[in-house]
Amino acid sequence: MSPHRPGCHSEGPPAARPAAAATIHTCPMHPEVRRDGPGSCPICGMALEPLAPAAGGEPDPEIAVMQRRLWIGLILTLPVFLIAMADLIPPLRRLRTSLGGAVAWSQLVLATPVVLYCGWPFFVRAWDSIRFRALNMFTLIAGGTGIAWLYSAAATVAPGIFPEAFRSHGEVPVYFETAAVITVLVLVGQVLELRARGRTGAALRALLDLAPPTARRIGADGSEEDVALVLVSPGDRLRVRPGGRVPVDGVVLEGRGAVDESMVTGESIPAEKGPGDEVIGGTLNGTGSFIMRAERVGEETLLARIVQLVSEARSSRPPIQRLADRVSSVFVPVVLLVALITFVAWSVLGPAPRMAHALLAAIAVLIIACPCALGLATPMSILVGTGRGAAAGVLIRDAESLQLLERVDTLVVDKTGTLTEGKPEVTTIVSTLMPEHDLLRLAASLERGSEHPLADAIVRGALGAGLAPAGVTGFESHPGGGVAGTVEGRRLALGTAAFVSGGSPAADGLEEHARALRSEGQTVLHAAIDGAHAGLFGVADRIKPTARRSLDVLRRDGLRVLMLTGDNRLTAEAVARRLGIEEVRAGVSPLEKAEIVRALRSEGAVVAMAGDGINDAPALAEADVGIAMGTGADIAKETAPVTLVRGDLDGILRTRRLGRAMMANIRQNLTFAFAYNILCVPLAAGVLYPVFGLLLDPMIASAAMSLSSLTVIGNALRLRRIRL
């Protein structure tokens, strides 16, 4: 059956929608369904959930409603059940005998609110399934409980309308306990399902709760006040005190602090933050106090983006879900047909009372075949798995990428920012006239006046070593050559060998060092003091500490690794040698990167692309699975379906482990759900009755149906404990 799928906000009467902006709710199985508030999916009947969890962990109103219905149903169903079981309990048997004809009436009074009030949501969902031509599990539940209640009510109010085929010992049997108990059991399953789904967003809500509710804002006149976080704007100056949390993403302007960034980096040692350093909203400042400038607020902060990305992934479905959707689309009509055949077969061939047995068997088929386990199999694994990934620094925008990731056989990696740190650092110092730290201090004093990236590396190297630069006079900049100036009374030059020595060659020893450093991909800066060659600096982009280990593991796993970079071949090959990468393509443009990825895919390779920059975005979009470094450009993170918050290749290993675990979990759930229905429907239809005289009671069928759903939920929750 091809269901009519309503568009955005198409469900529910307009009057039911709040006038103000409300939280958008969606269906885990059918993300195209949107509604301004809680409710049920008109396609599958599953309870809708918020598109993104809210901070504070407020209780889900849907759970509260279902729990209230459950408790009312449980209280009223217990005496109905005891009356039905009276034949097995002597004191109750005597009570039932004394009540006589009032037994059925008492059951009618008690069971009616259970079925018609407590179970009312199931009838609403069943009607929606018919209205939208999308038969689902609630079609079967409402059909089974509704038929049992209607039949029993008619048998109580007007027993004379029933022929002899419906009678047992002269009376028409009633099944109020069946309708009531099934309703309560389904309510139990709904409450447990809602609770389990609520726990899957707990990690995201915990992240949102890390952001403090207020921020200490500094006014233009220097006054300070605590304001609500929603009132903070980009450019505001904020004070972060010792023991306080950083309110939003920004940059330190004054002061210093030791900030615990373990929620983002996983590093337990606090990071020292000073002027110019970036800080992340929600991280904890331990010691020290600093003033920061707000850069990204509200939905632009890292915390908010994490929640947004994971929420999008929770609403996406991998291709394996399409199999479950196709099966479900024909499953319910088939079950209805089987129930009809069962009823006819028992009414013709069954023992007396034939019609009573036929009704009981047909209801059991409807109840036990409810495809709730089949419907939960994929979305529950996605909900739990993406939450687990977020806690490990792996943000998954599209669940389809996980299914593709386990089949990836080729990994294409960018160099700068992916394999390396993405910023040049001083890696080698060779000094012939003075101690190395003195030469570094003098060079940093000179380079403070330059805007060249290599100059910044020299200055950062000196500051990192605790060296204080001195003043400079007579600063000169010579494009293509270098810089010169007077520091502490000495004339200092820094740049190419020809520039610093006036055209004369460097000493043999220094030139040999320079050649060796260039062969390793380092950029060499020569230094001269008062016209004499004084040494040189090797500047390079450091390789990330985890890169070699991660690539070794991926290669052992059978992946082909290819480096694509716009950098020069000498530097690229030097990095590739240190990382054991055999295939390197250097000097390629962004469009050429995308063309290479496209060519690999046309050859039959399943390609994952890892990058961090704007120049990587086309290739990330072209790959089967794009993997963006969380430390890179926004366009890369927006393009790729997978983002690694920590920006290291260990994240690829974690993502592959998560993908394999999630797909294995989904397969386990689908296998169980399919096997359950294949085995249990014939049992409910009564195939064992001719041999063993066993007929499955609808109450047992309902318990088995609920147990199958809980098994799927429990199996999915195991993903919360996997090691990544």
Residues designated catalytic: 414
Q: Is the dihedral of CA 82, 86, 90, 96 positive or negative?
A: positive
**Burial environment of residue 121 by CB neighbours within 10 A (0 to 12, 13 to 18, 19 or more):** buried
Q: Tokens 């999008």 appear where?
A: 312
What lies within 8 Å, CB to CB, of 618 at 6+ separation is: 590, 591, 593, 594
Separation between Cα atoms, residue 128 and residue 42, nearest integer Å: 5
| Residue at token pair 């059918």 | 30
Distance CA 534, CA 514 (A): 13
Sequence-distant (6+) residues with CB within 8 A of 360 are 175, 178, 695, 697, 698
Strands of 325-403, DSSP E: 394-396
Helix and strand numbers (H, E) in the chain are: 25, 25
Buried b (16+ CB within 10 A) or exposed e, 580-589: ebeebebebe
Q: How far apart are CA 443 and CA 435, in angstroms?
A: 13
**CB-hemisphere CA count at 13 Å for 213?**
2
Over 533-597, what HEC string results? EEEEEEEEEEECCCHHHHHHHHHHCCCEEEEECCCCHHHHHHHHHHHCCCEEECCCCHHHHHHHH
What is the Rg, in whole angstroms, of the alpha carbon atoms belonging to the chain?
Answer: 35
Among residues 116, 175, 140, 136, which one has the least CA distance to residue 41?
A: 136
Length of the chain: 724
What distance in Å separates the CA atoms of residue 372 and residue 328, rounded to the nearest whole number? 10
Question: What is the enclosing helix (H) or strand (E) of 621?
Answer: helix 617-622
Task: Return the DSSP state at 230.
Answer: G
